[in-house]
Chain A
């Protein structure tokens, strides 16, 4: 994405947020009558105003830069979830679990990235982020293999690259 100054980036993220809200409204309602579309527009404006007032539209809450990479990231994440899900299922059935605590370092630069990484760890079955301390996570893993998978740092790199 080309270099933009701060104000135009902000405007752009406002517009994107507005479009996302409206598309969301449309998916949930499915109406195409102009009167109902108008009411939808009103409710979207109301939600927009509410989130502006709640200061939910600050700089890094709407990661415009990564929005195009998100679908690919989700596909990758689903693959990871599936892989570790199978491992966890096998562990539950054969009973060979050995729970352990490990600490994991995060290399993301902003708060959104760190939250994203912590969420991804919790989302993959078999690993749960217990505590976030600035840039180190305390992670509970169900077995040695799962904790080693995490310590190879692949997930960390993918999520850090998301924000480049």
Chain B
């Protein structure tokens, strides 16, 4: 019976992860400009991938494999802000103004 519980938990976590990825993709299309779209991409990077990896860890049980899986979000934590920042900085440097209220 306990096997089924594990499957259920990982299923729920997968669903949450998929929901965040869906929202992020929707945001990528819906939001008005580059800067806002980076937020949506960040949502996919952190929460979407995080929950899916968590679901995989629960599903496979604790072993060396789950440590390997844990390394994926760890690397994303270091790399995804850098890419987001690079895009935002380039857009800013090339004189692209964000839409909406600006107070410096």
Contacts and interface: CB of A to CB of B under 8 A. Distances in A.
A128 B85 contact: yes
Chain B contact-residue range equals 35 or more
Dominant secondary structure of chain B at its interface with chain A: helix
A123 B102 CA distance: 22
Given A97-B31, A100-B103, A125-B39, A81 B88 contact: no
Contacts of A127: 39
B27 A92 contact: yes
Interface residues of A, number: 37
Contacts of A28: 68, 71
A103 B104 contact: yes
Interface in A18-74: 27-28, 30, 74
A70 B82 CA distance: 19
A98 interface: yes
B35 A92 contact: no
A3 B50 CA distance: 38
Contact of A131 (B40, B64, B92, B100): B92
Contacts of B88: 128-130, 140
A88 interface: yes
A100 B101 contact: yes
A114 interface: no
A94 to B, nearest CB: 11
